[in-house]
Amino acid sequence: MRFFRNIVMAAAFLLAAPACAADPQKQQAGTQVFELPEGARVHDVAPAPNGSIWYTAQRQGALGILDPKTGKARQVPLGQGSAPHGVIQGPDGAAWITDSGLNAIVRFDPRGEKLTAWKLPEDVGYANLNTGAFDGNGIYWFTGQNGIYGRLDPATGDMRVFKDPDGRGPYGIAATPSGEIYYVSLAGSHLARIDRTSGKATIIEPPTPKQGARRVWADSKGNLWVSEFNSGNLSRYTPATNGWKSWRLPGAKPQAYAVYVDQSDMVWVSDFGANATLKFDPASEKWTTYPGSGEGANVRQILGRPGEVYLPESGTNRIMVIRTSGAA
């Protein structure tokens, strides 16, 4: 598989803007809201070194770096045509970005602030790259919503791309504590487990038909939590038993978009229908609601680190931080 590794450039700073805390009246106890540079349209977030937060500025083709201590944000442009979707921190401490505009995986190394891009092979075509995750061997796996998933070996640059058995739809992807990789398909309405050696995906059908599985995350026991956009359910798949259990989100017309499981195995799920993010306690089966900071907050992804949960609000262009030690 041929790969490109020649797009290496010193990162310039397109924008450096103070990110102000939003109206405190709107804030819930234990939360803080940061305004991002105008027009950024934040999509995904990830913990970054030194307590800062990375975010994809999808509409401005940049990786954002927010310092919650000062509230200042700056953005690193990713190249002409960039439209980054996902970002995670890799085991190497770098930001790994799925860039649908560039049709490439982009790595940002905070030491020296260099960018490296691996374009998808030409014969793959436009993939609408979505999300990435590292497996237990340090291989980066990614999804493309036009119907592909793939792997990239950071050590060699070797990239392989596979077709989803159901075609379009691969969206969220996650690694379990043991290093296995699962992804979900929004259009295919399925969960899939990837054989990391062969690359083959095995479909695991959730019990609700056409549920619109959008994102997935693993808890500490290796169970997979799935946010179902069409059904409004939060579902859990237990690999050891092949069993499923589903909970319908509260509210009249829930649309479960993003899901994340924190270090205490609390499950966080965003609901477009309620304009809120919910914390779900699997033990008590109770929900706690965190309203969006404004109308149509549209939290499309959730991530965090011990003691903090980050909610990127694409609709308000803000990041809400929930400090879980003080959260309800």
Partner 1 sequence: MKALVALLPAAVIAAACGAPATSSDEIAPVSGDPVRGERAYQKCYSCHGLEPGRNDIGGPTLHRIVGRRVAAEAGFDYSPALRKFAERSPSWTPELLDQLIADPEALVPGTSMTFTGITDEQERRDLIAFLQRGEPAP
Q: What CA–CA distances, in Å, run from 100 to 143, 174, 194?
A: 10, 18, 22
For residue 128, state whether it binds partner 1 (rule: CB under 8 A).
Answer: yes
289 and 13 Cβ atoms separated by less than 8 Å: no
Question: What is the separation of C-alpha 77 from the centre of its chain, rounded to a whole number of angstroms?
Answer: 20
For residue 125, state whether it binds partner 1 (rule: CB under 8 A).
Answer: yes
Closer residue to partner 1 (CB): 151 or 214: 214
For partner 1, the binding residues in 239-258 under the rule CB under 8 A are 253, 255
Structure tokens at 10: 């010193």
Closer residue to partner 1 (CB): 64 or 315: 315
For partner 1, the binding residues in 268-297 under the rule CB under 8 A are 272, 295-296
> Of 64, 86, 150, 212, which lies in the binding site for partner 1, with binding defined by CB under 8 A?
212
> Of 27, 230, 246, 288, which lies in the binding site for partner 1, with binding defined by CB under 8 A?
230
For residue 314, state whether it binds partner 1 (rule: CB under 8 A).
Answer: yes
d(CA 311, CA 34): 10
d(CA 124, CA 145): 12
d(CA 161, CA 27): 43
For residue 58, state whether it binds partner 1 (rule: CB under 8 A).
Answer: yes
32 and 25 Cβ atoms separated by less than 8 Å: no
Q: In the complex, what is the shortest distance from the CB of residue 186 to partner 1, in angstroms, rounded to a whole number? A: 5
3-state secondary structure of 123: helix
Q: In the complex, what is the shortest distance from the CB of residue 210 to partner 1, in angstroms, rounded to a whole number? A: 5
Q: In the complex, what is the shortest distance from the CB of residue 327 to partner 1, in angstroms, rounded to a whole number? A: 27
Closer residue to partner 1 (CB): 187 or 191: 187
For residue 56, state whether it binds partner 1 (rule: CB under 8 A).
Answer: no
Q: In the complex, what is the shortest distance from the CB of residue 98 to partner 1, in angstroms, rounded to a whole number? A: 12
Q: In the complex, what is the shortest distance from the CB of residue 143 to partner 1, in angstroms, rounded to a whole number? A: 10
d(CA 327, CA 277): 13
- Residue 59-98 contact track with partner 1, rule CB under 8 A, x = bound: x-----------------------x-x-------------
Closer residue to partner 1 (CB): 42 or 88: 42
Structure tokens at 122: 């030409």
Angle CA 106–109–115, to nearest 5: 45
d(CA 185, CA 166): 9
For partner 1, the binding residues in 2-41 under the rule CB under 8 A are 41
> Of 108, 141, 217, 229, which lies in the binding site for partner 1, with binding defined by CB under 8 A?
229
For residue 119, state whether it binds partner 1 (rule: CB under 8 A).
Answer: no
Interface with partner 1: number of residues (CB under 8 A): 31
Angle CA 199–203–208, to nearest 5: 155
146 and 168 Cβ atoms separated by less than 8 Å: yes
3-state secondary structure of 51: helix
For residue 145, state whether it binds partner 1 (rule: CB under 8 A).
Answer: yes
d(CA 189, CA 118): 29
> Of 1, 9, 92, 126, which lies in the binding site for partner 1, with binding defined by CB under 8 A?
126
> Of 26, 163, 168, 196, which lies in the binding site for partner 1, with binding defined by CB under 8 A?
168
Q: What does residue 227 show for φ and ψ, rounded to 5 degrees? A: -95, 125
d(CA 45, CA 65): 10
Contact positions vs partner 1 (CB under 8 A):
41, 43, 58-59, 83, 85, 101, 125-126, 128, 145-147, 168-169, 186-187, 189, 210, 212, 229-230, 253, 255, 272, 295-296, 298, 300, 314-315
